[in-house]
Structure 1
Amino acid sequence: MKSSVVVSLFASGAAAQVGPWGQCGGINWTGGTTCVSGYHCVYQNDWYSQCLPGADSTTLKTSTTSTKPTSTSTAPATTTSAAAKGKLKWLGINQSCAEFGQGTYPGTWGKDFTFPSTSSIQTHINDGYNIFRVAFAMERLVPNSLTGSPDAGYLKNLTDTVNFITNAGAYAILDPHNFGRYYGNIITDTTAFGAFWTTVAKQFASNSRVIFDTNNEYHDMDQTLVLNLNQAAINAIRGAGATSQYIFAEGNSYTGAWTWNTTNTNLAALSDPQNKLVYEMHQYLDSDGSGTSATCVSSDIGVQRIVGATSWLRANGKIGILGEYAGGANSVCQTAVTGLLDHLQANSDVWAGALWWAGGPWWGNYIFSFEPPSGTAYTYYNSLLKQYTP
């Protein structure tokens, strides 16, 4: 999830213009088609165009095909029929709390951060969810420098959480929730980044149900650097003896599915000797895709924002997962989330699963909280999501 809202309010004279990262075109789109200064409208797929950084543009690129559906109720076609759809390999919940207190390091357990509730995780497992992404802070796990040793206390608490999940038969994703940064600075030293992953992977090399997520939501970084950091992590993890586990690689631009096929195309070059690499994307359904609003753009925005990524995965022979997604507790978002999950399931040859953002004991009345028993999203969406569990 993005750490801040990227869209701004504009004067009434620019009301017809779309803000940064907003939708600016697509089949049946009725909103603005020009972007504010410094952004231009970029075609992503027939159903979605987006305001991306760059020179201003008043020209909207439309579909590359000569014909388009006209019905407002028609979803984009998939290559796999609904009747032939398969089950997803994974469906689960993010566990977000051990990374809280960003900027306060090491911080105090119980004041600045905490760890997930094992009783809540067990409730999810009982409901059929089989994968949990456990966020943590790199600065707490390996303090002082990327090449340093792990903090024994933080490592123990993280390991206890992971072992609870995996001993119950589910998968645990290790998620360094750092946005490609360490103590606020962009990580540019791929050797040091590899050393960090060697340290971490050695701790979990014998647990086949652990999954290594290279880093959460790289953004505003050199694209080749993102490629090289991912490859350094893969090499280090495998070199540390962790050869049976999956590795999830994330992309630039907050690893957004809606921009993946225009932003992260070079990541197709990533190589894993164990052939267990999965591309992790995130997708929210509000106007700027930041996941900060309970209002979804439309009832079919879930499908619109991931069809381009589906095509990229299939064209490149890759497997993907939605590591984060969510929608507000309302009927429009519910329809959009249903469409998104239907699309993933109908294209399960390239999509392995999805994880809701987010569970955790400190979320309170957060709009997307999936913490049992009374989280806003848990009470609204649990019965729906359970229909898609493996």
Structure 2
Amino acid sequence: MRFSTSLLAATGLAAVFAAPISQDTYDPDDECDFEGFSSQPVLSHTFTRSAHSRSAGIPTTSAAASPSSIVIASSAPTVGSLSSVAVSSPVEASSSAFVSAVQTSASSVAAVVTSVAPATLASSSASEVVVLSTASVVPVAATSSAQGVVSSASSTVVAKSTASVSSSASSSTSTGGALEFLGVNESGAEFGTTSIPGTLGTDYTWPNTSAIKTLMDKGMNIFRIPFLMERLAQGTMTASLDATYLAALKTTVEFITTAGGHAIVDPHNFGRYDGTIFTSTSDFQAFWTNVATEFATNDNVIFDCNNEFHDEPSNTVVADLNQACIDGVRAAGATTQYIFVEGTSYTGAWTWVSSGNADVMGNLTDPSDKIVYEMHQYLDSDGSGTSSTCVSTTIGAERIAAATSWLQENGKKGIIGEFAGGANADCETAITGMLDALTAASDVWMGALWWGGGPWWGDYIFGFEPPSDVAYTPYIDILTKYI
């Protein structure tokens, strides 16, 4: 996650407001996280940098809706006339389930599928939708005035259009409850990047475990803990781990995992060490062997190879570094834990295919077969997360559509490691739509984590620290419906 900067002149405090950018030219002064120290008495550093350059080729939507695209609705929207709907993913439905496939593109094409038997395959023409069951085939005539409801108490509905998926489900009541993981990024230990190793309490902090407890009491079960490689392995990437910083990291991890949650260990470095792009697979593998050794017996730890690679020498370099991470973790004897791998172009879901990640990342191997593809997704115009304005109410589902198809077509698992939207009605609808789409494709999507929690966010637009951060109040009930 990358951020724009702002000076809190009124209080005399310098802060970096950060948010992730999907594609951009590398800026060495660009930081991953907003370093908002509004509650801190002294700051030892300030940041200034020029505005980001934008690529003219970056789309505002990665999957624009087409006249034949569809989405699974989760309540009872009124549907229009059918032109052509193709439901190509497996559909499981209970004997009394109603499935509504609603199109929200320019021609407002929609269809209602009513199943009286379990269904696994669907096809359609301009006049009918046919559901092929493990037991039977049920043709259903399309109607121009029908209403439909997805009932998923024990079923999962997955829809994929021939072109893209858009979301009118975002404005309906969520089916919820189908995601394995739902949680928050817990920032703080990665702050103060110009002060290495820095001073605890001035340059960086650790997550507030009482806040994490509040989130866990709400049902959240996964937390990503960003930290800096330069603080953990000081001087060189292969150095012995700093005992003090490591102990604090382990304290946070153990709090989460002892309570039954999953803790993601996240070197938040953008593929850089000490400000320089690293390419040595042997050094990176050694770093991960050192780190994983400390957590090898904790099944609830997840290893996140590196945050948001970007502007690398090649996509192959990124894939090779991820493979080195996997090899290093397994060499440490950590054989039961998930490993989250991230691609280039800030690992954006909406650019996963167009950036070339799809061409190289699928070749990674793991003897434990526990690779999960971590992608990030924000909903403002350039996907950077620097604005609280979402492009549209359907942008959430649209921006993960291509990545969903890639995961399904390649038999991979994915997770949205960072996402957020502004505290406003449009973004709330768009976030709901994205979570609905993740739920509908829970065969490949394992869950999602909000950016960001942590005690130093102040009035950051996506701050999620209980009890009253900017995004916490409007979003906590929306998010926890999905776990």
Q: Is the aligned partner of 1:306 residue 2:400?
A: yes
Q: Is the aligned partner of 1:95 residue 2:95?
A: no
Partner of 2:456: 362
Measured in 2, the distance between the counterparts of 1:326 and 1:73 equals 29
Q: How does 1:20-35 map to 2 (within 5 A)?
A: 21-23=58-60, 27=64
Measured in 2, the distance between the counterparts of 1:154 and 1:178 equals 16
Partner of 1:253: 345
The aligned amino acid for 2:393 is: S
Q: How does 1:31-46 map to 2 (within 5 A)?
A: none
Partner of 1:284: 378
Partner of 2:434: 340
* 8 Å Cα contact 1:247-1:277 kept in structure 2: yes
Measured in 2, the distance between the counterparts of 1:18 and 1:166 equals 41
Partner of 1:322: 416
Whose helix fraction is larger, Structure 1's or Structure 2's? 1
SS at match of 2:303: strand
The aligned amino acid for 2:325 is: A
Q: Is the aligned partner of 1:145 residue 2:236?
A: yes
* Unaligned runs of at least 5 residues, structure 1: 9-16, 30-44, 48-64
SS at match of 1:376: coil
Measured in 1, the distance between the counterparts of 2:226 and 2:438 equals 24
Measured in 2, the distance between the counterparts of 1:68 and 1:383 equals 26
The C-alpha deviation readout for 1:243-269, integer Å capped at 9, x for no partner, is 010000000000000011232011000
Partner of 1:127: 218
- Output the aligned Cα RMSD: 2.6
Measured in 2, the distance between the counterparts of 1:120 and 1:25 equals 35
* 8 Å Cα contact 1:146-1:193 kept in structure 2: yes
The aligned amino acid for 2:205 is: T
Q: Cα offset for 1:28?
A: 5.8
Measured in 2, the distance between the counterparts of 1:68 and 1:113 equals 45
The aligned amino acid for 1:319 is: K
Measured in 2, the distance between the counterparts of 1:271 and 1:247 equals 11
| Alignment partner of 1:70 out of 103, 106, 118 | 106
Partner of 1:264: 357
* 8 Å Cα contact 1:26-1:46 kept in structure 2: no
Q: Cα offset for 1:73?
A: 9.2
Q: Cα offset for 1:3?
A: 3.9
Measured in 1, the distance between the counterparts of 2:397 and 2:385 equals 16
Q: Is the aligned partner of 1:160 residue 2:160?
A: no
TM-score (norm 1): 0.84
* 8 Å Cα contact 2:348-2:376 kept in structure 1: yes
* Unaligned runs of at least 5 residues, structure 2: 5-20, 26-53, 71-85, 87-102, 112-120, 123-149, 157-176
* 8 Å Cα contact 1:134-1:174 kept in structure 2: yes
TM-score (norm 2): 0.68
SS at match of 2:193: coil
SS at match of 2:455: coil
SS at match of 1:94: strand
Q: Is the aligned partner of 1:112 residue 2:203?
A: yes
Measured in 1, the distance between the counterparts of 2:309 and 2:55 equals 24
SS at match of 1:261: coil
Pick the structure with greater CA Rg: 2
Measured in 2, the distance between the counterparts of 1:132 and 1:380 equals 20
Question: After TM superposition, what 4+ stretches of structure 1 lie above 3 angstroms from structure 2?
Answer: 3-8, 17-20, 24-29, 71-75, 79-83
Partner of 1:2: 2
SS at match of 1:388: coil
- C-alpha distance 224-230 of structure 1, shift in aligned 2 (>3 A): same
- C-alpha distance 103-23 of structure 1, shift in aligned 2 (>3 A): same
The aligned amino acid for 1:258 is: W
Measured in 2, the distance between the counterparts of 1:212 and 1:317 equals 21
- C-alpha distance 130-307 of structure 1, shift in aligned 2 (>3 A): same
| Alignment partner of 2:425 out of 298, 307, 331 | 331
Q: Cα offset for 1:147?
A: 1.0
| Alignment partner of 1:233 out of 325, 340, 344 | 325
The aligned amino acid for 2:320 is: N
* 8 Å Cα contact 2:225-2:266 kept in structure 1: yes
Q: Cα offset for 1:383?
A: 1.0
* 8 Å Cα contact 1:7-1:21 kept in structure 2: no
Measured in 1, the distance between the counterparts of 2:62 and 2:289 equals 44
- C-alpha distance 25-260 of structure 1, shift in aligned 2 (>3 A): closer
